Structures are given as C-alpha cells and as structure tokens.
Structure 1
Amino acid sequence: HKLRQALRSRAIKLWEPPYTSPDSGSALDAASMQSLAESLSQNLRLCPSACAAALENLRQQTLDNAESLAHFRATQEATLKVRLPRGQNPQLLRIRCSLQSTGYQFKSLIVARAPQLSMAGVSLICNGRVLEDALSLGNQGVQHNNSLMLLVRATTDDVQNLRASADDADALREAETEAGLLAGEEDDGLGSAGGGSAALHVTNQRGEKINLPREHRKALYYAMILGEKGKAALRSNQHGRALVLLLAADEAFNRVDRSLLDRVDNHALLQLDTVWCYLCLGRLDELGDAWDRLGLAERALVKAYGEQLERVEAVKGTSAGGERIHLLRLHLLKAMCCFYSNRLEEAATEARLASAELDKLAVDDAGLSSLMGMGFSLLESRLALRHCANDTQAAINWIVARRERQRTQAAERKLQRRLGYLDDGETRVSAASCLRLTEMGYLESHAHEALVLTRNSIDAALTLLQDDQDRLQTLADQRYNSRLQLVLDTATSSGIASADAQRLSSKLYRLIGAKLEALSRRQQRDPTGNHSLKAQQLLIGCIDELLEDEQQQKQTSEASDASPSSAAASSSVPSSLASWTTTDSDEGEAATALAAKIRRVEQEKEAAEAASPDAAALREASQRQRKALDKLRDEVGDQDEEAYLDSDLQEERRQLDRLLAMLDN
C-alpha cells in the first residue's frame, strides 16, 4: 500500500520506459529500478532490497493484468487469482476459465494445479460470498481478474480430517433442514410441539419474545443457526469453517425484513465475527468487503444501542457494561483494517478508542475473586463488575437483581403456557399481570378469568376479584373441563391409547391445554385451516416426551434394585409397558408373558394408526423436531442468555498491543 501510494503521488508508471521495454515487457534499465528502490526505501523507511523486490513484483503484476485483460477481450476466458492459505504451495494460482463454468468445474481446475487439495475439502469465497458448486461463476458475481479466497478443510492425505469436517455444502443443507423443523415448532406462536419451553425464538433486549411473520421465520432461524455454528467454530479457532458458516448466515439474514433486524443486534455482531475471520486468515485482499461489513455493523449497533449506549441503559435499566465489548471489537477491527490499508493516522485514532473501551471493561481481579468466593459464577461476576464499574457491593446487588429478574421471566414464560389467549384467540393473557394478582393472594385460575373478562386490564380485574369470585370460579371450572376434554378428544383422534391419555391427562392439561384451546378456536373461525392437525402433532410430541421420561425414570429406579440380568431385560421394554413387571421367578414363563404383551401392544398401536393414518406421520415429524433441537444444542451448547457479552478479552488485548507496537514502529 505504501509503495502504490508513493508511485501514484510521483506519477511513476513501472510498465513504461525506463523501467519496462515496450517491446519485450522485460526490465529495460536495472539501474533506474535500483535508483527508484533506494529513493523510495529512504522515504518510506523500508529495506532497500525488500523495496526493490516489491517494485519488481508490482511491475510484473501490472504486465500480467494487461495481458490477461487482452486475452479476456479476445476469447472471453477470464483470469482468476486464487489465493491459497498460508503453508500451501503454491501460494497464488492464476487460472483461466469461462465465467460460464460452474463452481465445481473451477474447483477441478484448482485441484489439477494443486493436487494436494481435495475437491470435497475446499471452499471458494469471492466478494464475501461462498461459491456454490452447481451455479456458474458469472451467476455468482465472479468477474474477470477477481481474487478468490480458498479455504482448505482437508487435503488428499488428510483422510481423518476430511471425514470429520465433511462437505460444507452438507453442513449448510443440514442447517436449513434444522431451521425448517424448528420454525415449524413455533407456528402461529403456539410454542414447541412437545409442550415444553419454546425450542428456538428471538427476543429483544428486554428478553421478550418477538413474534415473527411466517414468511420470515425460517430465513431468520436458518441465519441464526448458521451464526451460532459459526461462533462455535470460531471459539475452537476453526477460522476457515467459521467463515463459510458466517457468510452463509449473512446471506440468509439478507432475506429477512430489514425492520426486524433493526430490533436485534445479531446481524451486526455477525459482521464483526466475519471480519475477525478475514484478519485471522490473513486475507488482506478482502479489505474492501471488510470495510463494507464494519460500516454495516457500526450503523446497526448505533440503531440497536444508541450513540452512547443510552438505548441499552434505558431498556435494561442498568449501565451498558457488557455491550461495550462490541464497541471495543468494532474499534479494534477498524484500527487493524486502517493499518493494513496504510491509513496510519486513522488506525492510531481507532486504536486509542479501542484502548479506552478496554480500560472501561477491565475487571478488578480482587473483586472477581471476592464474588466467586461468595459462590457466584465467573460469567455473572465478570458481567456484574463491568456493569458496576468494579464496585463489589453494587455488583452483588446487580447479580441478585439479575437472578430475580431471570426467575420472574422464567415464571412468566411457564405461566404463559398455561394462560393462553383471550377470547379473540390472538391476544395473549398477560402473564405479568396474572403474577401480580397471584402475589396479592388471589387464585391463579380466578386471576386468569378476570384478565380474560377485562382484556388484560389489571385494575378492572382486581375489582372483579374482589366483587365476583363465585362467577370467576364457575368460569374457571368450565375452562378446566373444556380444556381437559380437548386433550382427551385430540388424543383419541391422534390414535393415542386412551389409558395413556387418561393417566397423563393432568400433565397434558398443564402443558398444552391452553394451546389446544387456541387451536380449537382458530379451527372454528377457519374450518379450512389445518389447526386440528397441528393440535394432534402438538399432543403426540408432548405425550411421547412424557412417556420417554416415565420410562427413563422407571429404568433408573429398577436398575438400582434389580439384578444385572433383570435390569438388562427391563431396559428393552417399550414405554407403553412401563407399568408392567413380572412377578414370576421362572425366566421362561416371564419371557413368554413379555413377548405376548409386546405383541398385544403392537397390535393396539397398528389398529390405532390404521384408524388415524396421520398419527404415524405426525409422530415422526415431532421426533424429527426434537432430534434437530438436540443436535443443535449438542453442537452450539446451552449458554447463559448473556454469555455473548462475556469475555476475558485476552485475545483482544493481545491484538491491540501488537497493533500499537506496529504503529510505533
């Protein structure tokens, strides 16, 4: 960058005499080139020999670009530069091909030139986009003389790593499938199919759920799943894999309504992670894309947080300690990009801003040890000290208030599942208002009916609770009987054994009674909808989970008392046999009785599914949803809701110190 700017300022053209022969293109006057190198090295404080080598490299690049442009105009064969990761040989490939070639065909040309690579073990990135194998290069925005980034996940002799990483395309397709399954779980805002807490949802900065239009939900879930997987790879220092996932997540975010993204900071933070990957991989040729992403991130963070983080403080009611981490990273990344773009004054300014943010985020070691000694976790101790400017007593109060707030939010979410909707079937009964009324000593069922009658007016509900409790009790009894009957009717239509439905009816009532009630009302208003099918899927998922839990509890209990042989036999008993145990000591008779019982249960199951053909398909769909959620949890891990705000900042400090040292030099 320094040499290019110096050459432009002096209007020096290395491809013309006296530096280059107009006929042969070779160096014309070695003395002139040496003199230029010595002059520039003194002004720029560079090594003369290194400066001379760099000038010759720039001269040759210019000639190559001119020749490839002439070739492209004559044959329509583009020249594309492919930069391989550090440690690969060769470091740079110049490959000619038609822009109508597919991504797969272009990969084959690369592997032919670098046989140590594997077709399934590489990904190509151009202009911030992961190239797809099936599409042509031109349709993916590739142009003549573009530089492409090659990410190597495995080589031909790295079979174990190749199998472990698999193909990124498979990973992206898998994430899209998971997104579709998980998006279906919250269809119409009814929560998860299994009746537990919602599997995946978006919240604002208050922790409140954002209800999304159906057409945006899958795209947003796909983006968030890929983003979480990308961050998991980033935490493991798999920068190449992380970059592929983050770029795919960015494309998915771009399919979501912009007004929705302005309400959360996910997309902005994704840009910071992407630029971090660029720099960790040493991809300085992506600086242009990095600048675009940093600009987008800065604008989005200002919208989400406010110019001085005032919006965060207003929303959360506390100082914005944790969110400063993102401002630190933003300034640090801008400083690094400025430095590599030879904008040294701007780099120094951004580095000072990053240093100031780092000082504000510094945590007192004594205070941290004190809080952890009181039994608080590392995460909440560090967050608290940052929020409270290292005031230990204030940090204790902050942690206590945070835990109380989390308990209240969890109680509201749990209560919301029981309360359901007002009579319009669309507006939720206010869980916060119901909690306030129950804290005053009123029954939950009475408070529920009062809020329904008054459409969530807590003052009017309080008057009803004081003056007309008999009426509220009557309404509560009617709602209980109605929901319980809905549970049993839906179980019958779903092919669920009546004994299981009766035995689990109280649990089913608490978990999904409100959801079944809402679906029933929607079915009455819209008979052409598939609300009854959703109700069946909801109940099947819930009852399967309850039966699995029962079976696991029974196996655990029996394993503690039974002999090894009997424990092994009981472990294979299906959940529908959970209440059956043999009292016969004769193993042959016990085995015969068990086989007969299994045959009867299988016959009952086949008869129920024959009466309700959709039951098997619904059960399979519910199981796929649960498996997708479990797989996602295994891959990205269950984290505290504010874990993304926590960091020891050691890597950021190391990079900032390194940058400051380079600026000093």
Structure 2
Amino acid sequence: MAKLRVAGTWSGVLDEVDLENWTVPMLREEVAKRSNVPAGSIKLICAGRMLKDGDGTEKLSELGIKANSKILASRVAVDEGKSLKDAEELNQRLARVKEAVVALSTRHTDGALPLEDFNMEIEDQLGNKLHLPESDRQALMMGLMLHTNGKGLIRKGKFRDALEVLNMAEESFSLCNPKTIELVDNIAMLQMDMVWCYFMLKDIACLSVAGVRLDKARDGFERAHGKDASRLKLLQAGNSSELAVYMRLELLEAVVAYHSGQLEKSRRYLMSAQTKYKRLQVSDEVLSVVMGMGFKENEAKRALRINNQDVERAVDFLVEERARKALKREENLKRQAEILEQKKYGVTPLKKAVDIQLLNGLVSIGFAKELAAEALRRNENDTQKALDDLTNPEINASIQNYIETKNAKRQKQDTDSKIQLLVSMGFDMSAVVAAVQAGGTMEAIMQRLLQQGPLPNPAAAAAQAQAAAQAAAANAEPPADASFSEPRDVEMEDEIADELARTDALSDYDIDVTREGEAINEYLALLDSTGSSSGSASTSG
C-alpha cells in the first residue's frame, strides 16, 4: 500500500492506496467522498497531467503515479451544456501550456543556447536578478510562468481555466526548496488568486479549502513582507504598493468568515478592506494633474495609488519607472546581441552556449575572439582548459585550421544561397556564378546580370533553379542551435513569453479594485440584513 498526498478540494493524505489495482475512477471516488462532492465534479492532476478515466482499467502505477505522489484535486461544476469537445480542448491547451513552460524553463535555466533572441531572468521586488540553485531556478521559473498564464486567464474572465493552470503552478512551486521561496510572496499571491477564482465562480463548495489557502496566503505575505508589510515598505521606500493586495485578501477572508457563520469576524475584515478600498480611490483632480505632465491614465493611477495620492511622489515614481524601463531595454538589447554572437560560435558538446563573460576575459589578455570562443566551446566553458589549448602551439594551430575551414564552408554556403536565389529568378546559371564571384552587394550583382541580356525560357530556368537548390543543400551547415531539433509549440511559447514581457516587479500589486468594491458593499449589506433580521426576531420573541 502507498500514500498519496492530496491538495485542493480536500487536503490530506490517502494512507492505503493500492497503486497496482486502483484506477483513476476509484481515486476520484475516494477524493470526492472525502470532499463531500459528487465524483463527476472532481478533476485530478498529477505531475501537470490531467488524470483521465480512459477505459477504466488502467492502474495508477501504469500512469506513473508512485508512493507519495502529489495529487491536485479541483472541483468543476457539472455543466450539461459543456460539450466533451470543449473539455478535450481545455485538456489539450493545458498540456500545451505545460510543455511550453517546461521547454522555456529548460532552455533558460541550464545555460543552453536560447532559440529566442531574449533571455529569462528571475528578479526580486526591486527588479534585481536572483541567483538560485539550478533545480530551484527551473521549478520557480515554471511556477512563475504558469502563474502568469493563470493571471492572464483571470483577466479574461476564464476563472475555471485559470484554476487548472494555477493548480499546475502550485505543483511547480512545491518542487522548490521551501527555504528558497519563503521570503518571496509568489506562493502567497498564488493562494489568493486561486481563492479569487473560487469567489468569482461562486463556488461555495470550496469554502473549507479557501480558508486554508487564505491562511497560507496571510502567513506567506507576513514572511515575505514583514509584520504589517514593514519590510516591503522599507524596500520600496515607503510606497503602499501592497494596499490593493491586502484589501483583496481581507475581502476574501470576510467572505469565507461570512459563509462560515462568523459574522462579526466577517464585518471586521470588511471594514478594514473598505478603508483600504477608499484609500485606493484616485480623484479626478489629482489624476488630471499627473496626466497633464504627459503620463498615461493607467500609469498615473497606479503611481497615485502606490504613493497615497501624493502627486509629487507619484511623478517621481513615474520618472524613476521610465528610467528603469529604459535601462531594462538597453540590457535586453545587449543580451540580444550576446545571444546572436553566441549562436555564431555554436554550442558545446553538452549543448551549452559559449559564456560571453568568460570569452571577454580571454580576449582581454590578448587572444583572438573567434579563437578563444572555439577553445571555450570545446572545453565546456572551462577557462583553464581553454587556456591550456590556446597556449599549446599544436592545439592552437588545429583550432585555427578548424575555424578557417568552418568560415570557408559558411562563405560557400552564403554564395550557394545567393546563386540559388538568383537562378530561381530566371537568370542563367553560368552568368550568375560569374556575377556572384565578382563580388559586391546583391543589388549590384542583379544590376550586372540585368545588363547582360534577356532571361532564359521558364523551363530552363526551373531546371537551373533545381540544380542550384541541390548544390546549396549539399553544402548547408547545420545551425548553431541544431540541438533543439525536436518539435516546438512556438505559438504557445510566444504567448507565454509575451505575457511575461508585459509584467514587472509591481504587476502583482496593480489590481483593478472595482469588483472588490462592489463585493465589499454587497457583503456589508448582507451583514446589515442579517443583523436586522436577528433583531426583529429577538423583539418579537
């Protein structure tokens, strides 16, 4: 018998699970029984993969589930109008998201040469890069990407889909060393976002797990931000960026307390949330002042909220933000140039990129850049071994010979590509070869060819084009990033990367609080109504 850890609609440990005999329907039934909900409303996820019933005979062990595996259980309302096709499309999208996140985090974690012209970095609340152990870095990066994707779905109002992605994010974060992430607030923010989805879905059945998640969120925020957010305020020079986050947290705590019958506790949370909500309201007058200085409405509102409606501090904040973004753009352009340079040098035997910093170190002591890059590439970026090769006359000569041969082959490939293109336009093969060998820009070569007379007939041109293409293919050199020849979901990877590019250190704190304000008033009215009803009943008694 094995133990399985379950989190979600029910949190606990299933002590006696026979992995060799239990099926997914049996596991779902057990989780549903402990959650007091119908089995048909439970979805199970393990290792980022949805557990499907299949034909009902496949055992848990055959699905790769082992002792102490973590199972995430989420509840979905049984919607008769939702077709099986829609459910399958969701499952396929979740699988695509998971695969894209794994691919991106792998390429941007272990020193491999990125296929993209950007590099992903993990930053703290001030935008400083965090240096973490490789295993923690990849797990944290996966969690952050999934969390960002989930928040994007929340903004689109797709709360049920968001929950599925957020569950996967929670699983990824759970792979990190707890000490690595205990001083960041990402886990706390994730817990709160999941409860926000429950709230927006009006899923009262998740009330108990919502309370547990909110407790984790509050504890996590206190560890990361300090008591009363003192550490966060110190880091951010007294800004109140956390106000909207704590307002939403208190609202959700109030909702859970209300539906648990803790009315006074609910009122206390609501009153505190209402106070914060009022502080977050930006008057048209101060907004127009800041916008009059050339700032957009959204950024002006954010700055005023963070700086307690202080116009001067808000403007200073916006100026600093623009300076930071400009610096970030410069760093990104520099990194893009580095990646292009790395692609030129190729990858090491273990498929890593040449380390530009180490390369610059070798160049600074007098070695030719291309020669030093090849020495590092051959030696897995081991500077000492690269130096040994560079200072060994025989090995140095062989490296130079390799570089010359490679460059000659690249030149031949470039020439063949030009010939192929020009022949495909209908120019005579022999004339094209002569024109290309004469040198010059592509425009100059075409001009010379046009001066030589009319184009050959289409049939002859097609035959020449085919011959040129075959010659170019025979001389083609594999790209520097040929190590990534496996299929990629470029569309999904780009979607996730674009979502990340639109976020910054304060994105999580930048919340549109309109819905929260409505909910605060709604639940205060419910409490007032409950109080009136109780009072009337008492009087009549």
- Pairing of 1:625-636 with structure 2 (within 5 A): 629-633=493-497
Residues 192-217 of structure 1: CA deviation (Å, up to 9, x unaligned): 344x331x332111212223323234
Distance 1:312 1:248, change over 3 A: same
Question: Quick one: higher RCO (CA 8 Å, sep 6+), 1 or 2?
Answer: 2
2:187 paired with 1:322: no
Whole-Å separation in 2 of the counterparts to 1:661 and 1:400: 42
Shift, 1:234, TM fit? 1.2
Aligned to 1:371: 290
Q: 1:305 aligns with which of 211, 225, 249?
A: 225
In the alignment, what sits opposite 2:23? 102
Shift in CA distance, 417/524, structure 1 to aligned 2, threshold 3 Å: farther
Structure 2 counterpart SS, 1:124:
strand
Q: Which amino acid aligns with 1:177?
A: E
Q: Give TM-score, length-normalised by structure 2.
A: 0.65
* 2:326 matches 1:407: yes
1:261 and 2:181 matched: yes
Q: Note the residue ranges of structure 1 that are not aligned, 5 or more in a row.
A: 1-82, 84-97, 109-118, 431-447, 454-474, 491-514, 555-576
Instruction: After superposition, give the CA deviation of every residue in 1:65-119 in whole Å (9 maximum; x if it has no partner).
Output: xxxxxxxxxxxxxxxxxx9xxxxxxxxxxxxxx99653357889xxxxxxxxxx9
Match of residue 366, structure 2, among 468, 478, 498: 478
User: Deviation of residue 344 (structure 1)?
Assistant: 0.8
User: Structure 1 pair 646/140, CA: closer, same or farther in 2 (3 Å)?
Assistant: farther
Q: Distance in 1 between matches of 2:226 and 2:379?
A: 39
Alignment partners' CA distance in 2, 1:476 and 1:312: 41
1:202 to 122, 125, 129: 122
Work out whether residues 44 and 51 of structure 2, in 8 Å CA contact, stay in contact via their aligned partners in 1.
no
Distance 1:371 1:656, change over 3 A: same
Match of 1:293 in 2: 213
Cα distance, 1:131 vs structure 2: 6.6
Q: Deviations over 1:232-261 (max 9, x none)?
A: 221121221111211222122111111222
SS at the partner of 1:216? Answer: helix
Mapped contact 1:191–1:197 kept (Cα < 8 A): no
What residue number does 1:192 align with? 114
AA matched with 2:385: Q
CA contact (8 A) 2:150 2:166 kept: yes
C-alpha distance 213-598 of structure 1, shift in aligned 2 (>3 A): farther
From 468, 471, 474, the counterpart of 1:600: 468
Which residue of the other structure, out of 162, 176, 181, is the alignment partner of 2:98?
176
**How far does residue 274 in structure 1 lie from its aligned partner after superposition?**
0.7
1:644 aligned partner: 508
Q: Could you tell me how far 1:519 is from its partner in structure 2? A: 4.9
In the TM superposition, what is the alpha-carbon distance from 1:273 to its structure 2 partner? Answer: 1.0
Matched AA of 1:211: H
1:149 is matched with 75
1:148-185 Cα distance to aligned partner (Å, 9 max, x none): 833457846x47xx35x644443333233212321232
2-structure distance, mates of 1:227, 1:240: 14
The amino acid of 1:478's aligned partner reads G
Partner of 1:620: 485
Deviation at 1:296, TM superposition (A): 1.0
TM-aligned CA deviation for residue 348 of structure 1:
0.9
Where 2:382 maps in the other structure, the secondary structure is helix
1:118-157 equivalence runs, <5 A? 124=43, 132-133=51-52, 149-152=75-78, 155=81
C-alpha distance in 1, partners of 2:172/2:184?
A: 15
Size of the aligned set, in residue pairs, is: 431
Separation in structure 2 between the aligned mates of residue 384 and residue 180 of structure 1, nearest angstrom: 35
Structure-2 change in CA distance of 1:521 and 1:123 (3 Å): same
SS in 2 for 1:620: coil
Which range is displaced more, 331-340 or 402-411?
402-411
SS in 1 for 2:76: strand
Partner residue, 1:94: none
Provide the C-alpha distance between the structure 1 equivalents of 2:78 and 2:384, rounded to a whole number of angstroms. Answer: 53
Change in CA separation of 1:166 and 1:217 when aligned onto 2, cut-off 3 Å: farther
- 1:251 aligned residue (167, 171, 174): 171
Counterpart in the other structure of 1:334:
253
Change (3 A) 1:327 1:392: same
Instruction: Report the CA distance shift for 1:232/1:413 in structure 2 as closer, same or farther (over 3 A).
Output: closer
SS at match of 1:208: coil
Matching of residue 224 in structure 1 with residue 144 in structure 2: yes
Q: Which residue matches 1:352?
A: 271
Which position in structure 2 is the counterpart of 1:241? 161
Deviation track 1:390-425 (CA, whole Å, cap 9, x = no partner) reads 1223322221122113323443565578899xxxx9
Structure 2 portions without partners, runs of 5+: 1-8, 10-17, 30-39, 53-57, 340-352, 389-398, 422-440, 530-541
The amino acid that maps onto 1:520 is N
Q: Percent identity?
A: 22
For residues 457-501 of structure 1, what are the alpha-carbon distances to aligned partners after superposition, in whole Å with 9 as ceiling and x for unaligned? Answer: xxxxxxxxxxxxxxxxxx64835xx323456x59xxxxxxxxxxx
Partners of 2:377 and 2:255 lie apart in 1 by 55
Shift in Å, 1:640:
4.8
Q: 1:616 to 1:141 in 2, by over 3 A?
A: closer
